[in-house]
Amino acid sequence: MQKYRFLSIVIIFLLEFTTGTCQKKMSEYVSDEHAGFNASFEISKNNFPVNWLLYTPSTVPNSSFTLQLSPDATDGKQSLLFDVKACEETGGWRSPGIAKELPVKPGQKVKIKLQIKNAGCKYRIQLHPVNVKDKSKGIDIVQTESHDWKMVTHDITIPDQMNLLRFEFNVLSAGKCWIDDVRIDIK
């Protein structure tokens, strides 16, 4: 009887230990209810812009990069700089980047504007209407050319049964990429 009790305790301990330590965060999020959308990354805590989902060096597997605030900006005093030495080209939480989800209603018109400066990387901008079960076809832009600050704009109409809009920006290869002044207007 003692042997089974001991084995039960060992099994419970191993289950608790492995499930508790094998879970890895897919992103980091620092909240500040007074910062609003924080489009130009002006408000930060612990060197991270607040109110953004961030795919950071501690959450992105198989990567080597820094995520930092930079004085090279188009709006305000700072932009967000991804200095990437190596990363997967997968996108999403498996590549350096940022994301934000906003509530929307079917039929609403959305305009996105953002500024990007690229020095040698491949990057992706995605804007997709989603709900709990599905993702609708949206905007998926992949760029590889280097350029100075460039404004990117796109429009999208929210289809039926979608209640969230997911914006995601990822760096997909080595190089440096700055992002600033992200505006998402919903009407």
pLDDT band at 159 (very low <50, low <70, confident <90, very high): very high
- What is the model's pLDDT at position 4? 47
User: Which of 71, 24, 80, 25 has the alpha carbon at shortest distance from 48?
Assistant: 80
- What is the model's pLDDT at position 7? 41
Domain assignment present for residue 1? The answer is: no
Average pLDDT over residues 84-111: 95
- What is the model's pLDDT at position 64? 97
Could you give the number of structural domains in the chain? 1
CATH code for the domain of 68:
2.60.120.260
pLDDT tens for each residue of 7-33: 444 444 433 444 444 456 899 999 999
Average pLDDT over residues 114-128: 95
Domain assignment present for residue 19? The answer is: no
- What is the model's pLDDT at position 72? 97
pLDDT band at 6 (very low <50, low <70, confident <90, very high): very low
Burial of 92 (0-12, 13-18, 19+ CB in 10 A): middle
- What is the model's pLDDT at position 104? 95
Domain assignment present for residue 12? The answer is: no
- What is the model's pLDDT at position 133? 73
Domain assignment present for residue 179? The answer is: yes
If one counts every other C-beta atom within 10 angstroms of the C-beta of residue 132, the result is 6
Q: pTM of this prediction?
A: 0.84
Contact criterion met (CB below 8 Å) for 177 and 171: yes
- What is the model's pLDDT at position 138? 80
Domain assignment present for residue 115? The answer is: yes
- What is the model's pLDDT at position 187? 93
- What is the model's pLDDT at position 20? 43
Domain assignment present for residue 33? The answer is: yes
- Structural domain boundaries enclosing 163: 25-186
Domain assignment present for residue 138? The answer is: yes
CA pair distance 62, 95, nearest whole angstrom: 9
**pLDDT-above-90 percentage for the chain:** 76
Query: φ, ψ for residue 22 (rounded to 5)?
Result: -90, -10
- What is the model's pLDDT at position 109? 96
Q: Please determine, for residue 117, whether its predicted confidence score (pLDDT) is greater than 60.
A: yes
Average pLDDT over residues 43-62: 95
Domain assignment present for residue 173? The answer is: yes
